[in-house]
Amino acid sequence: MAQAMDLAGWQPRLDELARRHAVPGASLAVLADGEVGALATGVLHKGTGVEATTDSLFQLGSITKVYTATVLLRLVDQRLASIDTPVVELLPVFRVADPEVSRRVTLRHLLCHTSGINGDFFHDTGRGDDCLARYVQACANLAQSHPLAATFSYCNTGYVILGRIIEALTGMVWDQALAEHLVAPLGLAHTWTLPEDVLRFRAAMGHVSGSPGQEPQPAPSWSEMRSIGPANQVCATAADLVAFARLHLDNGVGPDGTRVLAASSVAEMQRPQVDLPNPYPMAHHWGLGWALSDWSGRRVYGHDGDTIGQSAFLRVVPDAGVAVALLTNSDRTAAFSQEVFAELLGVLCDLDVPAPLQPPANPPQVDLHRHVGVYERVGMRMKASLRDGDLLLHVTPTGPLAELLPTFDAKLIPLSDTLLLGRPPIATRWLSYVFYTLPDGGAYLHDGARATPKVTESVSSAG
């Protein structure tokens, strides 16, 4: 079980870490020994100076996916579908560009990100209640980033499709189904999805960094399009987030003793479904919704989330009964969250959080020529070229992502012939890049949890 900790006494440390990492505001909640403690620091908006409090709502970003997965598994418990049901049986209008994928892709493929459907299809279909239905129709020409079930590639698109399946099974819009099937049974009074609901509370504004060395400033907009909701649009307090995590720690039983989710479904969500080619950013395996890791021989599961200038983190240590949620209103929080989790989980669980990868003083000499080429998926184009023996990566966001993410160059430093590290200009730590080949011979670059196929074998070497 968890060791005792005076969380209130940790307030000065949270304040210090937020100041040192230039995080405008943060909210922290800890579930340990069956009790929840919460802290907050900083401001919700640098332009207004409104104080961040423990009852402030932050955007959870992609942690939303675990909520969507939980609702879907509850419907599976009710025998409305199975996780191996083909999508087209539940959504007859569903199509993607590959007819075989259209016919065979299942809920399991979508839940554990192995469908191969291009995952960053940020398509705005308006604010109406039909936005998910229209989004799914717009997927008809969406190509594959990899063959079905061939590897893992993080897929926002898949979770929007799952949200639409929830609508089809319940007869409700996704927001309402989430509220009735999960939020209400857990008594989550500070968990919402629509801006008109969020704005009835203290709400965090995102902050973005324009260039290296610049402190984050208020973002130009508050949220993304409603159509991407099932993938990233839950807003909540940190305390509500650990209360949600508690459902999974308690084997699907809610706070009043009501069974919300079958114990078998809880176990299946936490069972490794697929290995990650690049396990270093977050997880070794993926379950149904959850990112799953092994830290010093102990199971840890959780999820991260990023929206427009907001970042959220959840880690659960089941053998200690501990869940820690950290919500922030900054887009540069990797180093901040690393320190928070390392210190808290060290005290609470006697658990060593893995340190981020660092480049060696003397990198190995490896053949980098085979990695040269252009790698492209929906939303991202990356060109790897050689200059003076170094591998340089030129990264260009495309489509709607081009309005949210900057173009940048990074020199990649090898740790092995397939694992390289790079540090984009505004990153707060080194990022890992894995070059690998699928059984069909296709060459891929795995970064940011996404598999990107090589589309051109060579490019002109730089300078």
Answer yes or no: is pLDDT of 9 > 80. Answer: yes
Tell me how far CA of residue 27 lies from CA of 67, 241, 282, in angstroms: 20, 11, 21
Q: Which residues are catalytic?
A: 62
354 Cβ partners below 8 Å, 6+ apart? 295
- In the chain, what is the greatest distance between 2 CA atoms, to the nearest angstrom? 66
The enclosing domain of 432 has a CATH number of 2.40.128
Give a yes or no: residue 461 inside a domain: no
137 Cβ partners below 8 Å, 6+ apart? 93
Angle at 124 between CA 120 and CA 129, to 5 degrees: 120
Give a yes or no: residue 199 inside a domain: yes
Residues 343 and 378 grouped into a single domain = no
Residues 246 and 111 grouped into a single domain = yes
Answer yes or no: is pLDDT of 401 > 90. Answer: no
Last residue of a domain, one of 326, 355, 384: 355
Indicate the pLDDT class of residue 215, thresholds 50, 70 and 90.
confident
Give a yes or no: residue 362 inside a domain: no
Closest by alpha carbon to 73, among 88, 62, 84, 83? 83
Indicate the pLDDT class of residue 212, thresholds 50, 70 and 90.
low
Residue 1 pLDDT:
56
Q: What is the DSSP letter of 448?
A: T
- How far apart CA 345 and CA 20 sit, in angstroms, is 20
Give a yes or no: residue 364 inside a domain: no
Tell me how far CA of residue 353 lies from CA of 48, 249, 257, in angstroms: 36, 20, 33
Q: At what angle are helices 156-170 and 64-77 packed, to 10 degrees?
A: 40
Give a yes or no: residue 418 inside a domain: yes
Give a yes or no: residue 361 inside a domain: no
- How far apart CA 212 and CA 214 sit, in angstroms, is 6
Q: How many CB atoms neighbour CB 338 within 10 A?
A: 18
Residues 347 and 410 grouped into a single domain = no
- What is the average pLDDT value for the chain, to the nearest integer? 95
Residue 186 pLDDT:
98
Domains in the chain: how many in total? 2
Q: Among 178-182, 261-265, 280-284, 434-438, which stretch is predicted with the lowest mean pLDDT?
A: 280-284
- How far apart CA 250 and CA 244 sit, in angstroms, is 10
Closest by alpha carbon to 191, among 14, 34, 76, 60? 60
Q: What is the pLDDT of residues 328-356, one digit of tens each?
A: 999 999 999 999 999 999 999 999 999 99
Residues 334 and 232 grouped into a single domain = yes
Residues 136 and 215 grouped into a single domain = yes
Residues 112 and 214 grouped into a single domain = yes
Please report the DSSP string for 28-77 in residue order.
EEEEETTEEEEEEEEBS-TTT-PBP-TT-BEE-GGGHHHHHHHHHHHHHH
The enclosing domain of 332 has a CATH number of 3.40.710.10
Give a yes or no: residue 463 inside a domain: no
Amino acid at 266: V
SS3 302: strand
Quick one: average pLDDT of 111-138?
A: 97
Which residues are 411's β-sheet partners?
Answer: 392
Residues 307 and 395 grouped into a single domain = no
Quick one: average pLDDT of 265-284?
A: 96
Q: Are strands 191-192 and 235-236 parallel, antiparallel or unpaired?
A: antiparallel
Residues 313 and 351 grouped into a single domain = yes
252 Cβ partners below 8 Å, 6+ apart? 259, 260, 261, 262, 263, 265, 266
Amino acid at 33: D
Indicate the pLDDT class of residue 282, thresholds 50, 70 and 90.
confident
User: From start to end of 234-332, where are the E strands?
Assistant: 235-236, 274-275, 285-286, 291-295, 298-306, 311-317, 322-328
Indicate the pLDDT class of residue 117, thresholds 50, 70 and 90.
very high
Indicate the pLDDT class of residue 205, thresholds 50, 70 and 90.
very high
Last residue of a domain, one of 308, 329, 355: 355
Residues 268 and 416 grouped into a single domain = no
Last residue of a domain, one of 355, 389, 408: 355
Indicate the pLDDT class of residue 463, thresholds 50, 70 and 90.
very low
What is the number of alpha carbons within 13 Å of residue 272 lying toward its C-beta?
11
Instruction: Say if residues 143 and 177 touch (Cβ distance below 8 Å).
Output: no
Give a yes or no: residue 93 inside a domain: yes
Please write down the long-range contacts of 415-422, taking CB distance under 8 Å and 24 or more positions apart: 415/357, 415/359, 415/360, 415/363, 415/364, 416/364, 416/366, 417/364, 417/366, 417/367, 419/280, 420/371, 420/391, 421/357, 421/358, 421/359, 422/393
Quick one: average pLDDT of 10-34?
A: 97
215 Cβ partners below 8 Å, 6+ apart? 22, 209
Q: Burial, 369: exposed, middle or buried (Cβ in 10 Å; 0-12, 13-18, 19+)? A: exposed
Q: What is the pLDDT of residues 287-322, one digit of tens each?
A: 999 999 999 899 999 999 999 999 999 999 999 999
Boundaries of domain holding 419 = 369-456
In the chain, what are the helix, strand and coil shares in percent, each to the nearest 5?
30, 25, 45
Residues 274 and 406 grouped into a single domain = no
Residues 204 and 227 grouped into a single domain = yes
Amino acid at 36: V
Which residues are 374's β-sheet partners?
Answer: 383, 456
Residues 43 and 141 grouped into a single domain = yes
Answer yes or no: is pLDDT of 459 > 90. Answer: no
